[in-house]
Structure 1
Amino acid sequence: MHSLSVALAASAAVLPIAFAAAVDSGSAARSCAWEKLNGTVGGRLHALEPLALPCFSVYKNNPVAPDAAACAAVQAGYTKPGFRTDIAGAFMNNQVEECASNPVDQCLLDNKTPTDPLAFADGASCNQGNLPDYYVEVATPADVQAALAFSEKTGTRLSIKNTGHDYLARSSGKGTLMLWTRKLQGLSYDAAFVPEGCSGEKPVQAITTGAGVNFDQAYAFADEHNVTLLGGYSSTVGASGGWVMGGGHSVLSTVYGLGIDRVVQFKIVTPDGQLRTVNSCSDPDLFWALRGGGGGTFGVVLESTHKVEPAIPFVAASVSFTSNKTTIIPFLDIIVNNTQKWAQEGWGGHVSGSSLINITPLLSLDEAKESLASLAAYAESQGGAATFTEYDSWYPFYQKYVRANEVAVGNTHLAGSQLVSNGAFGTAEGRAQILSFLTNIVNAGTSPYIPVVGPVLYDAPANSTSATPAWRTAVWELGVGSSWAWNSSLAQRQAAATALKAVGATMSAFTGGSAYMNEASMFTDNWQQAWWGDNYDALLSIKNKYDPKKLLNCYKCVGWTAEDTAQSCYSAFA
């Protein structure tokens, strides 16, 4: 039986000791190290099998027996985030699983029709792709400490994964040992939380989330305690992982700041094996780095504590119509020419093509209707509708608009967003440049995607976080993207990357090129400057202090080098 079948049955097979020879290419000492690690972590070292393996009759060019029941389960859940989130070998997007530079080195189904046998028939081989061969199912800090000691002894680098949301393939990595944190499920609420060692600080309401907790769980828990936790616009994104460490935007960020502004403490095992409680009073340099420097870089986070708000009443606006290339441009024109005004009124949310779902905690229902009157009138003139609803708290809105509208996964989705500053909308010329870009996107047959998530009304202390300073003046995160088919050739993949780079260059003319690292183009050349600005050198110094041996070395994370790229699954895109 495939280990996926066992996982679907809610239990995991213990990795047999004989695995070591396959990992090591003959080194008795290294084999012994793997066996010792397996014993140290209580048998929770497992082979990491590709999600689609049960459908294949060949694995790594060796015959295997397909598992019809497990294959059917994979096919049924292949495009669903909730299915993938609890499987160690499942990631949300294919660029994380496949070896992008070698189209043969992958194990994928056709995401448009997962039951299509073309992907796995006629002796097609399921290959490991960019996936690690093995993972530790982390249950305790000691598991992480054992993995770090193993990494230092054997030279095996580590990767860290929770639920598999990662556009830049940082939670995977060929040849790494993956630490899977999904089972770290702790949740607690404290009405008067004070970070450890910070006795002089004013207590705050806070929720502490284990590294495996996703926002669906965290939002429900916050609702039970009648408080508001700011988080991501996806049910299965983790609350303590790359979202918060990379910046962490929310539709409430306009008023209440980013995730990095609200996290007040981490518990983390650093590469030296120390279990640390990190906050502004303890290891302040590391705390600064964790608030924007990115996940999988400075250590293995076990939990994070977030300042929460009382239940926040707000007005939600849902405006939409069925559009074409001609009718969508006036809609976008209204949005561009009102963006500065709406930002000052606290609106945050998403614009997707000819629809807008925004919320504001600063306006009454009547004020909200007046604010968006021109947009609502245009949508209605095109046969659409505008709905305004008052909410007493976040959770009912989340259930209606977020949980119920999860996007499909299981495809290659290459993000390429950049941050657009509030000032870019301050002149007629600037607005015309932005609208011209959006018009070109529409004329090319693509639907614009605009998260309105810049913390423009939030007064962040200077240099309190390490993400790009461009966030502090941003009002939009303008989303663009590209993709390639599951069975695309290397030339087709390179063409998609080239096209995404070209769009990014055009955007940079009015954005300056700064980007949210979690949703930026993985093909960005000057990524250090684009994602961290002048903070990068300080982040690199902190990285070298806490991880001098680069035990953690994810794709285009702090400390990544051109040599690392050449040895990775993305060498063909350098």
Structure 2
Amino acid sequence: MKGGLFSSLCSALLLLLGQNAAGHEHGQLEGYETSKWVLRRSAGAQYACKCYPGDSCWPNNGQWQKLNNTVNGNLRINIPPGAPCYNTFKGPLGDVRTYNKPECDRVTANFADEQFQIELPAAGLWTYFTNDTCRPTTTPTDTCTLGYYPVLVIKAKTTAHIQAGVKFARDNNLRLIIRNTGHDFLGRSVGWGALVINTHSFQDIKVSNSYSGPSGYKGSTITVGAGVQAFQALKKLNALSPPKVMVTGECATVGVAGGLVQGGGHGPLTSLYGFLADTALEFKVITADGALKTANANTNADLFWALRGGGPASFGVIVEATYKTFDDKPSAGVLLDINLNGAADPALFWEGIRIFHSYTTHFVDNGLYVYYELGTAGQNLHVHPFVGVGKTPAELQAVLQPFLDDLNAAGVPYTSSAANFKTFYDLYQAQFETEVAGNSALTGGWTIAREDVAAEGGNDAVIEAFKTVLGAGSFMIGHIWSAGHGLPQAEWANSAVHPTFRQVVDKLITIVPVSGNAPLADKAAAQDRLTNVVDAALRKASPNGCAYINEADPYEPNWQTAFWGDNYARLLKLRQKYDPNGVFYAVSTPGTEKWVQIETGTRLCLKL
């Protein structure tokens, strides 16, 4: 919510912050200040939990007021986006009358718009991990609760605001969430009872023709604040003469400094330049001790390595990032659909999919990027687009022709169209489709290794796995690229991303629809289906693959190896160095082995 309604609610609710119910009894907790922890038992195990509203360790009114003064009045009570459609918001700090029809109409009209959700203080673009609470409604008498949205938000405007928030969360043992765009599949931008630091206001963009820092690189760069999104950075670079480009995600609304680079950051230019993490030159980062540090190849070099793909929300809050940029080039794109809806010949459809996927190594070896969707609604392969950066339409057509010839020979019907663009930026604007927010689903994923798809019978095994995925009611998104194709092998180990990614030819996202407020048994069944049926089929088909932390099952088995391989041991030591007490948290990231969300996914606790 924006404007006067939100501000007035904040003023009223801030008075309630110190009014807590009786806390739980504290016992002796070796190695910790027990007054800051809440002891709980769950399923026969004992836990030491962070502080939440109602606990005796929850900060009192004076402490919150002091924090609000420190951050110049930018502390906000968080209210779910749909609250204006309800008579009353029943929050953990008290009930508030919230109905406002014009605001309700605005929220309802824009709920599926990513940028609308991004501009909110603490919304998650996908709602499953919010408990799907307080969605827009036409029945104001329905109940609106906070669900698993955070309780409070610091809308940080300065580095000092972030530092104050980190220190306050650390000193009071609060669950802390760092949120820029909320562009996250795994629920890392929301969390029950948490304090959020929102970094979206950090919008500075600076470009340079040369870099004088460490690493030996002397080329052009872009330096972006934490809140800058891909479309903003690319627009700025495109306006240069000659135009430049940087590695970004496929989605234009994703932030380019923060979770994207800390997870690795793949996109349409990955086959040419590697991950976004591979192009990083320097970070300004606030660590768990509240200090602002510079991290580059010479200064805090271990932290620099870890921030480049070592796990989102794990080592610090990136305030600013500097990346390499590259000359933009004329580019060609092809859109293709295999659509057999209404045709009773699934064998022909799957033959088309088999042919398509058999060319993954051919596509990446020729420097292409391919984005595709394989859906459950009928028999449909939607490739939007094949991307040939630096290629003419004729050159792209020559790469694709053997694939098209095989489709024709098999009698697989398809439609396609080709287009030529002055720059990759123009292609990016024209051919990548807009994504939507507001959906509820579990996501998972796996990668297909080159050696597995190229082995005898290997591609057939992958296609059988695809059949299992769709047969289980899942939807799938593929990204065909090679993060090792255009990047010198000598640079592969400079970032913390899983070494296996250098041999990947297809990175898959799997999506299992399920409502965030579904019965617990239904949620458990959906999670089991994702982990043990959908993604299990892909893991079996490509045993030499790996998983991508930003687009994966949050409960991926053997996640340490799946996400980081041999890099994990080093990352764990660095996490213990830079955040020994777990100030930062994101599920299945280095050092979180003993952290668990108990009591139906609410309290974040250490298992004792």
Residues 318 and 358 in structure 1, CA contact (< 8 A), matched pair in contact too: yes
> What letter matches 2:537 in structure 1?
T
SS at match of 2:312: coil
Name stretches of at least 5 consecutive residues in structure 1 with no aligned partner. Answer: 99-105
Match of 1:53 among 79, 83, 91: 83
Residues 211 and 301 in structure 1, CA contact (< 8 A), matched pair in contact too: yes
Residue in 1 that maps onto 2:176: 158
Q: Distance in 1 between matches of 2:59 and 2:347?
A: 67
- Counterparts of 1:323-342 in structure 2 under 5 Å? 323-324=340-341, 325-342=346-363
Once the two structures are superposed, what CA deviation does each residue of 1:507-547 show, in whole Å capped at 9, x if it has no partner?
A: 11132362000001122132122111121221121111111
Once the two structures are superposed, what CA deviation does each residue of 1:92-129 show, in whole Å capped at 9, x if it has no partner?
A: 1112322xxxxxxx5232xxxx55x3xx55x4321212
Residues 138 and 180 in structure 1, CA contact (< 8 A), matched pair in contact too: yes
1:9 CA drift (Å):
9.4
Residue in 1 that maps onto 2:47: none
1:567 CA drift (Å):
5.8
Q: Distance in 2 between matches of 1:475 and 1:10?
A: 49
Residue in 1 that maps onto 2:466: 438
Indicate whether 1:146 and 2:177 are aligned: no
Residue in 1 that maps onto 2:370: 349
Q: Distance in 1 between matches of 2:219 and 2:10?
A: 43
Change (3 A) 1:191 1:132: same
Change (3 A) 1:8 1:318: farther
Q: In the comparison of the two structures, how many residue pairs are matched?
A: 550
Residue in 1 that maps onto 2:393: 365
1:479 CA drift (Å):
2.3
Identity among equivalent positions (%) equals 26
Residue in 2 that maps onto 1:32: 62
Q: Distance in 2 between matches of 1:268 and 1:227?
A: 26
Match of 2:558 among 522, 526, 530: 526
1:29 CA drift (Å):
6.5
Residue in 2 that maps onto 1:551: 583
Residue in 1 that maps onto 2:324: 307
TM-score, normalised relative to structure 2: 0.85
Q: Distance in 1 between matches of 2:585 and 2:12?
A: 25
Indicate whether 1:108 and 2:134 are aligned: yes
Residue in 2 that maps onto 1:223: 238
Residue in 2 that maps onto 1:481: 511
1:89 CA drift (Å):
2.8
> Which range is displaced more, 61-70 or 31-40?
61-70
Match of 1:204 among 213, 219, 233: 219
Residue in 1 that maps onto 2:427: 397
Name stretches of at least 5 consecutive residues in structure 2 with no aligned partner. Answer: 21-52, 375-380
Change (3 A) 1:157 1:439: closer
Residues 329 and 390 in structure 2, CA contact (< 8 A), matched pair in contact too: no
Q: Distance in 2 between matches of 1:80 and 1:271?
A: 33
Residues 454 and 477 in structure 1, CA contact (< 8 A), matched pair in contact too: no
1:235 CA drift (Å):
1.9
Change (3 A) 1:414 1:459: farther
Indicate whether 1:469 and 2:499 are aligned: yes
TM-score, normalised relative to structure 1: 0.89
Residue in 1 that maps onto 2:198: 180
Match of 1:504 among 532, 535, 542: 535
Q: Distance in 2 between matches of 1:349 and 1:41?
A: 45
Q: Distance in 2 between matches of 1:222 and 1:551?
A: 36
RMSD between superposed Cα atoms in Å:
2.7
Q: Distance in 1 between matches of 2:8 and 2:238?
A: 30
Change (3 A) 1:28 1:365: closer
Higher strand share: 2
Q: Distance in 2 between matches of 1:222 and 1:445?
A: 41
Q: Distance in 2 between matches of 1:362 and 1:558?
A: 38
> Which range is displaced more, 421-430 or 244-253?
421-430
SS at match of 2:201: coil
Q: Distance in 1 between matches of 2:294 and 2:103?
A: 41
Change (3 A) 1:399 1:41: same
1:444 CA drift (Å):
5.3
1:438 CA drift (Å):
2.1
1:491 CA drift (Å):
1.3
Change (3 A) 1:222 1:178: same
Match of 2:17 among 6, 11, 20: 20
Residues 311 and 392 in structure 1, CA contact (< 8 A), matched pair in contact too: no
> Which range is displaced more, 384-393 or 237-246?
384-393
Residues 161 and 171 in structure 1, CA contact (< 8 A), matched pair in contact too: yes
> Which range is displaced more, 364-373 or 241-250?
364-373
Q: Distance in 2 between matches of 1:213 and 1:164?
A: 13
> What letter matches 2:108 in structure 1?
Q
